[in-house]
Amino acid sequence: MLEVTAQLRRGDFALDVRFEAPTPGVIALFGRSGCGKTTVLHAIAGLLTPESGRIALEGVTWFEAGVTNSRAERRRIGCVFQDARLFPHFSVLGNLRYGARRAPSDSRRIAEADVVDLLGLGELLSRRPHQLSGGERHRVAIGRALLSQPRLLLLDEPLAAQDLARRADLLPYLERLCSGLRMPMVYVSHQFDEVVRLASHVVLIDTGRVVAQGSVGEIAQSPALRAIVGPDELGAVVDGEIESLDPASGRARVRVGASSIGVSLSGARVGQRARVHLPAREIVLALEAPTVAMSADVLPGKVTVVEEESSHSLLVAVDVGGAVVFARVPRDAAVASALAPGRPVSLLINGAWSSAYGLGPSRADE
């Protein structure tokens, strides 16, 4: 368990956060730029001292106002920042082994060969940092942090400086890192797609305060999150199981609730758990099930909540058999007047824009 309570003031900005998150796993600190995410990260790392509060990992207290404040190096935390901060006069291998030299001799749990394999660094070991792409430099920085044998790994928006292509290249390595190591991690981001792919627990921060926390699926239902990412992007984040795969097309069928949908998914296996992101803009709600074949997938369900979203639309939560999916309905539509909790409806999902990410091993591997 990571326990964080921290209060401090810097000029006009006031930080007052309180959360507890299970470990191991990936704890995502998510929110708009400037909301206080990095400040929380620095407090956990011991790079700044809160005015009051307490910070502890798995029962070991690192900071308690007026009682104790462990120095940053004694907390044994690995940090990876937006800029990789590699040593330019060292090769990739030299940078990795610098991290290993910082590790206590009695705590060598993560082997150099495993890190090189996990992060795909084998062909880069003799290169210098100036010969690497931005994504490669970040992979080396992560490897160096891991070889210091940290109790906790902190990643401060490691993809923020990357363009879309490099982000797409680096995210699979981060997924392998998350699933391959049972190490607590705190991941700071203001990109919700990164959180969906990587996080096991989300702490939502707005203007210096925690406004919601929980699993990705729970946070996806939070009004506070909708206010940050916008209703068109959200829709739903649900977990399911991969039923079939077509490697040639990069498409898969994933069981969600009592039905299945087609999604973009590659590099996974049948039977593996998957997390599915369904954008609200690609979901259409129908009062009656379609009577003819359609290109969209159909998820039958029941209305659980109808909320006023704006003067023009309603937000409808639909239980599709254990998973909750959101859909937007125009306020002036005739269908809106017929909606009420318990009403059977159908959700039409445009799977061409839905994406999924593999989570952990398949049942056959467990």
Amino acid identity of 51?
E
Show the tokens assigned to 294.
Answer: 């359609």
238 band by pLDDT with thresholds 50, 70 and 90: confident
Lowest-confidence pick of 137-146, 148-157, 217-226, 250-259: 217-226
Lowest-confidence pick of 18-22, 153-157, 259-263: 259-263
- Residues with Cβ within 8 Å of 224's Cβ and at least 6 positions away in sequence, in order, are 204, 206, 211, 212
Q: What is the mean pLDDT of the chain?
A: 85
Lowest-confidence pick of 15-19, 94-98, 160-164: 160-164
Segment 194-199 mean pLDDT:
85
Show the tokens assigned to 262.
Answer: 């087609």
CA distance 251 to 266: 7
pLDDT top residue among 15 and 275? 15
Find the helix or strand (DSSP H, E) in which 245 lies.
strand 236-246
Segment 200-211 mean pLDDT:
94
pLDDT for the residue numbered 338: 82
Does the pLDDT of residue 364 top 60, yes or no?
no
Angle, CA 276 vertex, CA 169 and CA 204 arms, to 5°? 85
Find the helix or strand (DSSP H, E) in which 346 lies.
strand 344-349
Write down the CATH number for the domain with range 2-233: 3.40.50.300
pLDDT for the residue numbered 363: 45
294 band by pLDDT with thresholds 50, 70 and 90: low
pLDDT for the residue numbered 104: 80
Q: Do domains 2-233 and 236-365 have the same CATH topology?
A: no
CA dihedral 319, 325, 328, 333 (to 10 degrees): -30
Show the tokens assigned to 260.
Answer: 């299945």
53 band by pLDDT with thresholds 50, 70 and 90: very high
CA distance 138 to 122: 15
Quick check: 201 and 26 in contact, CB under 8 A? yes
Find the helix or strand (DSSP H, E) in which 359 lies.
strand 355-362
> Could you give the percent of the chain with pLDDT greater than 70?
90
Q: Where are the domains of the chain?
A: 2-233, 236-365
Does the pLDDT of residue 188 top 50, yes or no?
yes
Does the pLDDT of residue 260 top 60, yes or no?
yes
Does the pLDDT of residue 310 top 80, yes or no?
no
How many CB atoms are closer than 10 A to CB 123? 10
Angle, CA 46 vertex, CA 44 and CA 49 arms, to 5°? 95
> Could you give the percent of the chain with pLDDT greater than 90?
37
208 Ramachandran zone, left/alpha/beta (phi>0; psi -120 to 50): left
Segment 313-324 mean pLDDT:
82
Smallest CA-to-CA distance from 10 within 48, 47, 58 is with: 48
pLDDT for the residue numbered 354: 61
Segment 250-258 mean pLDDT:
83
> Quick one: CA dihedral 270, 275, 277, 283, positive or negative?
positive
pLDDT top residue among 212 and 283? 212
Tell if the pTM clears 0.75, that is, is over it.
yes
Note the pLDDT tens digit of each residue in 325-363.
888 788 776 667 788 899 999 988 876 556 677 765 444
Does the pLDDT of residue 239 top 90, yes or no?
no
Q: Strand pairing of 25-30 and 201-206? A: parallel
261 band by pLDDT with thresholds 50, 70 and 90: confident
Segment 91-95 mean pLDDT:
96
Does the pLDDT of residue 10 top 50, yes or no?
yes
Amino acid identity of 293?
A
Cα R_g (the chain), whole angstroms: 22
pLDDT top residue among 40 and 292? 40
Q: Choose which CATH entry (3.20.20.70, 2.40.50.100, 2.30.31.70, 1.10.3470.10) describes domain 236-365.
A: 2.40.50.100
267 Ramachandran zone, left/alpha/beta (phi>0; psi -120 to 50): left
